[in-house]
Amino acid sequence: MHYLALGSTDDIGASCHYLNLAGTGLILDAGVDPETDGVESLPELSLIHDRMGRPVDHVLVTHAHHDHLGALPVLVQQFPNVGVHMTKPTQMLAEVLLPSSARLQRRRLMEGSTTARPLFDADTVEALGYLYEGHNLDAKFDLTGARGEGEVTGQFYHAGHVLGAAGVFLEVQEAGQRRRIFYTSDTHLRSQTIIPGGEYPEDPIDLLLLESTLGSDEEAEQTTRREQEKLFGEAIARALERGGTVLVPVFALGRAQEILALIDRYKQRRIIPDETPVYTNGQMRAVADLYDRTRLASPRLNPDFEVFGVDQQRFPRSDARARQALSKPSIHVTSSGMLFERTLSNKLAQQLVEDERHGIFFVGFSKEGSPGDRLQRAAAEGTEVILDATNGQEAQPVRAEVARFRFSGHSHRQDLVELVGKLRPKKVVLVHGETEAKQWMRDTIQRLYPGTEVILPKQGVEIEL
């Protein structure tokens, strides 16, 4: 059994792992690095090209976030015989998100915000969609490769992260032994507002590929979701009471729908006035539609809840109507989550930031240097901010209330370490985390479970397991 990291291993980057299980070649996830564009954002697929001993039989995509899915069309074109597997909701999301990613890449090149050529076009991606095989959570499927020496089976486990997200359970017959492998991908052990916590295999496994996203985030384990929900609701209520408008920048898949469910709960509990208008925009509305269409067929805390059951309007396109929408107390749940330049949330932040009545409330992570991060720093330090440096904008004073609430779709590190205790793996390979995060995870796992070997892989360096 061999493991090879195809994506970057020093930071989160593009998720893409290669496993050779008794002659069967599997790729787990086919993501792009969200911090770069074009070919630079791809995992190192040359490592598996024309290599003896590295056949490519199947790719399993765990969920529809771009850092796990975005390179799939490239991979499928380079390896036309590969079998493609995902859960049924992820398949539905991929059919919406991949063509939309193609259109976005083209638009960014046209408007000059990148020089990278698009990785694929929308027509090609739509044509490739028929290759994807959607699976139910409880179904085992055969993955044995053309030159496989032992049977390999796969099964998806609900991962609790976003709609469709799954961990991968693999079994392989190798030299007369049955070996059990589990890849958590992005996982959340606890319930959010719509999506219940993840599920995991019952019996001990041999090899665990474990995510480490929040491995260096001490604060994450010190806050509870319930407490964050309370503080977030109170902050929205205060801003509305002072006649302000609330902007909640969100990611289109996952956070947007969870936040709408929370706003609905606040209205029902009279924490905020029921008549407060809520505005949404763009892709999150297409994703919300898929949340609703799959609500009876995929894990939910409340299958009756519909995202479009939450009273909401599309943010108006015309300037006059947009000004009108912003002028009265209202809530705007808009993308992007990190306030990237030329997105609606960035434009709204520019219009709201100078007025102390308004609130700009972050509900997710903003990477260092992103406009979302710059705004939070400026608010904390009392300095001015330029939210969109690409259009010669002048610095603005930050008078609006700016705050961050923690609603991660990932488990905090103590929960991840507990999962190791539950799955009792012989070996753990740490993935999807910065070096510091993985080091904390390794040290803690080794201290608590001294019999478990912990491996920090390096991109391109094959590991015999």
Residue nearer to Zn ion on the CB measure, 65 or 179: 65
Q: Is 65 in the site for Zn ion (CB under 5 A)?
A: yes
61 or 272, CB closer to Zn ion? 61
Q: Token match 């976003």: residue?
A: 162
- Closest CA relative to residue 341, chosen from 375, 301, 294, 290: 375
Draw the binding track, 173-202, toward Zn ion (x: CB under 5 A; -: no contact): -------------x----------------
Shortest Å distance, C-beta 64 to Zn ion: 8
Min dist CB 254 to Zn ion, Å, is 7
- Roughly what angle, to the nearest 10 degrees, separates helices 344-352 and 371-381? 20
Least separation in angstroms between CB 68 and Zn ion: 6
Q: Which is nearer to Zn ion, 186 or 217 (CB)?
A: 186
Question: Residue 72's closest CA among 102, 33, 32?
Answer: 32
* Closest separation in Å from C-beta 181 to Zn ion: 20
User: Residue 246 is which amino acid?
Assistant: V
Q: Cα Rg for the chain, rounded, in angstroms?
A: 22
Number of residues that bind Zn ion (CB under 5 A): 2
Residue with smaller CB distance to Zn ion, 17 or 65:
65
**Three state DSSP letters for 322-352:** HHHHHHCCCEEEECCCCCCCCCHHHHHHHHH
Looking at the Cβ atoms of 70 and 359, the one nearer to Zn ion is: 70
Sequence-distant (6+) residues with CB within 8 A of 335 are 249, 250, 251, 252, 256, 281, 282, 283, 284, 343, 344, 345
Decide whether 294 or 396 has the Cβ nearer to Zn ion: 294
Q: How near is the Cβ of 252 to Zn ion at its closest, in Å?
A: 12
Site string for Zn ion, 25-64 (x = CB under 5 A): ----------------------------------------
Choice between 186 and 264, CB closer to Zn ion = 186
When asked if residue 410 is in the footprint of Zn ion (CB under 5 A), the reply is no
For residue 338, give every residue at least 6 positions away whose Cβ sits within 8 Å of its Cβ, in sequence order, or none. 249, 364, 365, 366, 367, 370, 371, 372, 373
φ/ψ of residue 246, rounded to 5: -110, 130
- What does the block give as tokens for 423? 């799955």
Instruction: Give me the least distance between CB of 198 and Zn ion, in Å please.
Output: 12
Q: Which among 219, 226, 238, 231 has a CA at the least distance from the CA of 401?
A: 238
Residue 89 CB, shortest distance to Zn ion, in Å, is: 14
d(CA 186, CA 425): 18
| Cα–Cα distance measured from residue 11 to residue 433, given in angstroms and rounded to the nearest whole number | 6
264 lies in the binding site for Zn ion (CB under 5 A): no
Q: Smaller CB distance to Zn ion: residue 186 or 206?
A: 186
Please provide residue 459's backbone torsions phi and psi, each rounded to the nearest 5 degrees. Answer: -50, 130
172 sits in which H/E element:
strand 166-174
DSSP state of 394: P
Closest separation in Å from C-beta 259 to Zn ion = 16
Quick one: 186 or 415, whose CB is closer to Zn ion? 186
Task: Please state the closest distance from residue 192 (CB atom) to Zn ion, in A.
Answer: 13
Q: Would you tell me which residues interact with Zn ion (CB under 5 A)?
A: 65, 186
